[in-house]
Amino acid sequence: GAGVSQSPSNKVTEKGKDVELRCDPISGHTALYWYRQSLGQGLEFLIYFQGNSAPDKSGLPSDRFSAERTGGSVSTLTIQRTQQEDSAVYLCASSLARSRGQFFGPGTRLTVL
């Protein structure tokens, strides 16, 4: 079956612009995660959605970052007023249950000039 998909695969933007990154999880997976992978910080958790529960936003680095998940499926990560330190690969993952592991998409490479 189809895996996790993310779009765009690459995004180049200018400092100060807003960007939206999209994630389509595996059908039927109730949990959705966003992570960030950068050279300096490695793989960092950003936010987690589980069904209709309030999201765990504990990993968001600043209030410029937000995410939503509509209809329990597609998720959008929004970064407002982008900064150069936001440059990274943003990875989305989905899961049916914690014990089954998380399945990752190919990522969106964000470059802020």
Partner 1 sequence: AQSVTQLDSQVPVFEEAPVELRCNYSSSVSVYLFWYVQYPNQGLQLLLKYLSGSTLVKGINGFEAEFNKSQTSFHLRKPSVHISDTAEYFCAVSGSGGGGNKLTFGTGTQLKVEL
Structure tokens at 95: 């899961």
Query: Nearer Cβ to partner 1, position 31 or 110?
Result: 31
SS3 1: coil
Instruction: Tell me how far, at minimum, the Cβ of 16 lies from partner 1, in Å.
Output: 28
Strand bridging mode 108-112 / 88-95: antiparallel
Instruction: Tell me how far, at minimum, the Cβ of 106 lies from partner 1, in Å.
Output: 5
Instruction: Tell me how far, at minimum, the Cβ of 81 lies from partner 1, in Å.
Output: 26
Smallest Cα–Cα separation from 9: which of 19, 18, 22?
22
Query: Nearer Cβ to partner 1, position 20 or 44?
Result: 44
Query: Nearer Cβ to partner 1, position 82 or 102?
Result: 102
Give the whole-angstrom CA distance, residue 111 versus residue 84. Answer: 8
Smallest Cα–Cα separation from 73: which of 28, 106, 7, 33?
28
Give the footprint of partner 1 on this chain (CB under 8 A). 4, 31, 33, 35, 42-43, 45, 48, 50, 56, 59, 91, 93, 95, 98-99, 101-107
